[in-house]
């Protein structure tokens, strides 16, 4: 074959072959570009998954911390309420008991208790004075 096409048919075939060659080159470039794009997408997806995993772990940690703090606060509040209720109940019981006992006592009972206390104190002082002199 010569360098120049001999007929129109050969010219069209040569031109078609040239176009097919250009098309093949473009397809190869597009394939390489698609492979590079796919690789970049895979890397970006892996990075995104890593970030999502990290954020998920951080969220779990924060949620656990919040639940723990809320539970501790609720427990402290409940214990505080129970202690307050028990203290009020004990105070009321003591008030009722003391009031009932005090109301039963008369002035004569109080005077007798004071005299016995005074006499026992005087007796103890006298004993100590005698022991001191010996």
**pLDDT, tens digit (0-9, with 9 covering 90-100), for 55-102:** 999 999 999 999 999 999 888 888 888 888 888 888 888 777 776 666
Percentage of residues in the chain having pLDDT higher than 90: 22
CA atoms within 13 A on the CB side of 78: 6
The pLDDT confidence band at residue 53, using thresholds 50, 70 and 90, is very high
Q: What angle do CA 106, 110, 113 make, to 5 degrees?
A: 140
> What per-residue confidence (pLDDT) applies to 69?
93
Mean pLDDT of 12-22: 86
The pLDDT confidence band at residue 33, using thresholds 50, 70 and 90, is confident
Q: Output the six-digit token pair for 57.
A: 């772990």
Instruction: Supply the mean pLDDT for the chain.
Output: 85
Q: With 80 as the cut, is the pLDDT of residue 15 above it?
A: yes
Q: Give dist(CA 33, CA 39) in Å, integer.
A: 10
Domain ranges of the chain: 8-133
């Amino acid at each position: 074959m010569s360098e120049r096409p001999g007929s129109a048919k050969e010219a069209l075939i040569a031109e078609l072959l040239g176009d097919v060659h250009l098309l093949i080159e473009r397809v190869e470039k597009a394939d390489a570009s698609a492979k590079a794009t796919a690789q970049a997408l895979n890397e970006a997806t892996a990075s995104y998954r890593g970030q999502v995993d990290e954020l998920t772990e951080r969220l779990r940690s924060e949620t656990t911390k919040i639940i723990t703090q809320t539970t501790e606060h609720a427990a402290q509040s409940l214990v505080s309420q129970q202690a307050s209720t028990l203290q009020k109940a004990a105070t009321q019981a003591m008030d009722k008991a003391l009031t009932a006992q005090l109301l039963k006592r008369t002035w004569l009972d109080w005077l007798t208790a004071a005299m016995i206390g005074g006499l026992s104190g005087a007796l103890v002082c006298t004993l100590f004075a005698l022991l001191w002199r010996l």
